A and B are shown apart, each in its own frame.
Chain A
Amino acid sequence: MEPGMRQGMIRTIAVALDCSPHSKASLVAAAEMAVRLGAELIGIFVEDINLLRMAGLPFAEEIRQYSMTTGKLDEAQLERLLRFQARDAQEQLQRTAEEFTLRHTFRVLRGMVPEELMSAAPDADILVLGRSGRSPSCRKGLGSTASTALREGKMTVLLMRPGCTAAEGPLLVLYDGSEGSMRALGTALAIAGPESLLHLVVIDREPDAEERSRQETLTLVEPSGLQVEYHHLPVADGRQLARYIRMIDSGLLVLSDRMNLPEETLRALVNDIDSPVLIVR
């Protein structure tokens, strides 16, 4: 694939920033991708309207995390704190962009976080966000924003977690011959680093599926010059898939929501998997 084509496909990458570790990982992953693809970076900070409303309630009280004492929540103070956070996020973005020499813009929005995120960058080709953000429970699965993005988002979403790289390491693409999985493969090839190893997991009950898939993907894979390993997995159960993927230890998981997989399976898979996930639409 020519570099020009890659650039044609992904021009802008939006990244959700909230100063959490997940969001930092998202920013780095987004920057790495952007620099390879020559894309622009859009940083989005959403001031949570729920938080502000709550502060407006007469009895609003905050339970402080490290002292367990309670204190009155002051709306003005909260506003100020949110401004500081936004500034921090902007500085983070600026530093990263300068480090990678990227074009970037920064937006501050106010509203319900998932919705605002979805609507903030309608023209962005990829939305990068943490698997979970500053939600109260340090949960293992997906956070509320990530779930909403997965459920309702129209654009390609990359869900990051700290301690992982996205496109620099190996990639794993789920392939079942559908158009969606073709697109997933295309995107994976576009964002993959030059040294990345690409695992292509063929999900099909047919015994000759692997060979067929090889033929089908040849035209896409060959020009990229990447090393590709084919795996054949004749199951389509979410948990089994997750176990298999964990075994391969493959890095970024690339899949499409328009594959022949049931939506629940897909969601369960994304929820269970530890590694970053790129959902191509």
Chain B
Amino acid sequence: MPVPQKLTPTQLFNRCDPAQFGFETTAELDGTTEIAGQERALEAIRFSMGIRHDGFNLFALGPAGTGKQSAVLHLLNRLAPCAASPDDWCYVYNFEKPRHPRALRLPPGRAGQLGSDMERLVETLFSVIPAAFSSEEYQTREKEINESFQEQQGVAIEALERKAQSQDIALIRTPGGFAFAPTKKGEVLKSEDFMRLKQEDRDRIEAEMGQLKDALQSIMAQIPKWHRETNEKLKELNRDVAGFALKPLIGEIRSKYETLPEVVSYIDAIENDIIENFDQFLEKEPSPQELFMGGGQPRTGSKGRYFVRYRVNVMIDNTNTNGAPVILEDKPACQNLIGDIEHSSQMGTLVTDFTLIKPGALHRANGGYLVLDARRLLLEPFAWEALKKAIRTRQIRIESLAQLYSLVSTISLDPEPIPLQVKIILLGERTLYYLLNNYDPDFNELFKVGADFEDEMERNPENYLAYARLIGSMAVREKLRHFDRGAVARVIEHGSRMAGDATKLTTHLQGICDLVHEADYHASEGSRALVTAGDVQAVIDARVHRASRVQERIREAMMRNTILIDTCSEKIGQINGLSIYSLGDRNFGQPSRITARIRLGKGEVIDIEREVEMGGPIHSKGVLILSGFLGARYAPEQPLSLSATLVFEQSYGGVEGDSASSAELYALLSAISGLPIRQWFAVTGSVNQYGEVQAIGGVNEKIEGFFDLCSERGLDGRQGVLIPASNVSNLMLRQDIVKAVEEGKFSIWPVSHVDQGIEILTGVPSGEQDEAGVWSPGSVNARIVERLDAMTKKQKEFDSDLENDDEEKKS
């Protein structure tokens, strides 16, 4: 198999040419940004926002920092002003059921107006009602009613008194009631005088007094009725007077809201209540008790707790809302979402009323859009369930959590639920989306649209411009230095490196923004007016340096040969593999020595890592593939009579992944064939059962890791790395490597088959198979076959010796 060509410097790094930009600096751009590379997600968002059916809420999924929030808000801010402003909502006192405050819907801006109308009404009534009740007309009528009662009572009793007097009997008031007594000349008879009377006189008097007593009792039986009647008359008079005083004021308010039947019925209820409770407006000053209870504020606020009932608790005032509201709730706690009923403390007791109902984000977003962070939402106790309930029932019912879970036991309210029409947009990672999808049966019903944000986008001129615009708009918004086009190009190149693909750009815009901030800082340190490519490069280098402590310590250990990595000799069964270390958000590559030893055996390849449970399943899979490849290729029709052991030398932390499987295969082939491997090469790539080399991740970091070691030991032109050919498009290497390759000091080989790799590594052709299946003589593969045949023979001999020994023993 022909050996591939070394990669040229241009294949190692996809340069972005600053000359292609139509601007010199980002200051020339208009400062606006467009969302680039997220067409799929944007389409999903548009679809979700456009469809008015239930459940078409949106989950924007993608890694943090990919601009989900910006994209969603950008689109919403464009859509929202075109929609109609939603109605206002307020809570008012429910005169029939005070525990269930009424929710009133009013056109935008009218709720606040109703509130001030009611406040003015109460204010006015404090002067109007006392005036009406102190009028001469009222006083006269009241006196008339009271006196007619007195007179009615008086006349009846006086008549009886007169009748009694005519019979020489007096009606006397006792401390507890009335009594009759016989008199003589106006004076009550003494008991001895009475006893001196004749028996018949005494009987007569007693009989008369008995009759009078009955008469008095029947009069007295009437008195409560007269009293009730008088009270009724007085009440009616009061109602008339209060109603008359109130009518023009209420009429004025009612005419303002006559198109709103619910408001009109509320105003009617208020009118009745004021008429029934007019006396509340007559008290001049709050009583000392009221003052003590904190209710004695000046009337401009409210007089005592009583007048709270005429207030209007404006939950949502859309006076200044332009179109549909877009609400971003940063702390989606349950009470921040659905609202809360607060309590105030009075004499150590918690009390509440409808004015203490506080709106939540759902109220504010009603008729518009609510954007929430899924992780934060799920972290808040009860919030997710509360949100789902609100969406499912299409209404906001405010429930006090403390009340629900019996944490407090005090008077609370059950406000009338408010109808909800809102689009919920959740922003979150993909894991969350799929977890919710799998485990929450409601989720699919309620969040039918997923906007999947890309991690990367195509590298093309439009997206270059999007990057430039992003930088330009940041510079304007955050008062940073503008970038010259060289700097923009360098940022774009870094975007590719972040994406790990020369043909893509990362959409992790947060990382780009951080880079822009850091580069601006660097430019300011150098007192430059513009940020240059040098600044950007310096910042990238500084980032690497900041995170490179562990990397350098490992390399230092290699330089001291504490960790044995050979980069100059040739060894049988030994190779430099490349592995990736992940520390926080930084990755770096380092070479690892992999060795293979063989002996006579039964065809098994022993992975020492797996034997000691330090290898992960993918790694084990990679090793097992090797035995598949060996057996099928070299011993399809005879037993594979070898036993091989493979190990990552000096690895103490476990190995995972199959990116070293090609390296392990090369080590094994070298061990079988007896051909030494050139240690100045490092290898990465996985392999399949047919010997094809497959792509791996982190190719840039791996190459850089080996290059750094070689460069420190001194580049001699031989050193290089074998990478899978399919990874060439991922190359975005550091400039020093590109330069070393340019100067012929370092090489990178794209390998697509192990035959190519083993040829580069051993310097011996891998060989071709003829029609009979025989490998070209002297080739690596021929040597392997020969060695395996030899081993099989030895095995056979060994086996027959054993059989003979056994037979001899038997005979």
| A interface, CB within 8 angstroms of B | 48-51, 53-54, 56-66, 68, 70, 73, 78, 81-82, 85, 112, 134-140
Contact = CB atoms under 8 A, between A and B. Distances in A.
Contact of B179 (A61, A81, A112, A138): A61
B213 interface: yes
B542 interface: no
25 contacts: A48-B172, A49-B188, A50-B183, A51-B174, A53-B188, A54-B170, A56-B190, A57-B191, A63-B179, A63-B220, A65-B220, A66-B177, A70-B217, A81-B176, A112-B186, A112-B187, A134-B173, A135-B173, A136-B157, A136-B171, A136-B178, A137-B154, A137-B158, A138-B154, A140-B150
Interface in B156-173: 157-158, 161, 170-173
B172 A139 contact: no
B153 A62 contact: no
Interface of B: 147, 150-151, 153-154, 157-158, 161, 170-183, 186-191, 194-195, 206, 209, 213, 216-217, 220-221
A73 B221 CA distance: 21
Contacts of B175: 78, 81-82, 85
Given A82-B175, A137-B157, A140-B154, A63 B188 contact: no
Nearest to A80: B175
A157 to B, nearest CB: 20
Given A57-B189, A58-B191, A65-B177, A140 B147 contact: yes
A64 B151 CA distance: 21
Nearest to B156: A137
B221 A54 contact: no
A51 B172 CA distance: 7
A58 B206 CA distance: 10
Contacts of A78: 174-175
A63 B221 CA distance: 12
A51 to B, nearest CB: 6
Contact of A61 (B150, B151, B171, B213): B213
Contacts of A135: 173
B213 A63 contact: yes
A73 B209 CA distance: 15
A243 B194 CA distance: 47
A112 B182 CA distance: 15
Contacts of B171: 136
Contacts of B216: 63
Contacts of A61: 179-180, 213
Given A54-B188, A57-B189, 18 more contacts: A50-B181, A51-B174, A51-B188, A53-B181, A54-B172, A57-B194, A60-B179, A61-B179, A63-B179, A65-B178, A65-B220, A66-B177, A68-B221, A70-B213, A73-B179, A81-B176, A136-B173, A137-B153
A59 B180 CA distance: 10
Contacts of B178: 62-63, 65, 136
Contacts of B191: 53, 56-58
Contacts of B220: 63, 65, 68
B626 to A, nearest CB: 111
Contacts of B150: 138-140
Contacts of A65: 176-178, 220
Contacts of A53: 181, 187-191
B747 to A, nearest CB: 116
A266 to B, nearest CB: 23
B174 A139 contact: no
B147 to A, nearest CB: 7
Most chain A CB neighbours (cut-off 10 Å) among B153, B157, B174, B188: B174
A138 B153 contact: yes
Contacts of A58: 191, 194-195
Given A53-B189, A136-B161, A60 B154 contact: no
Contact of A137 (B147, B161, B174): B161
Contact of B176 (A50, A57, A62, A136): A62
Contacts of B151: 140
B594 to A, nearest CB: 111
A54 B179 contact: yes
Contacts of B173: 134-136
A135 B180 CA distance: 13
B140 to A, nearest CB: 11
Q: Which of A48, A62, A78 has the most CB of B within 10 A?
A: A62
A102 to B, nearest CB: 28
A138 B174 CA distance: 14
* B150, B151, B172, B182 interface centre (most CB from chain A within 10 Å): B172
A61 B210 CA distance: 10
A50 B158 CA distance: 18
Nearest to B150: A138
A50 B182 CA distance: 10
B174 to A, nearest CB: 5
Contacts of A60: 179, 181
A50 B188 contact: yes
A192 to B, nearest CB: 25
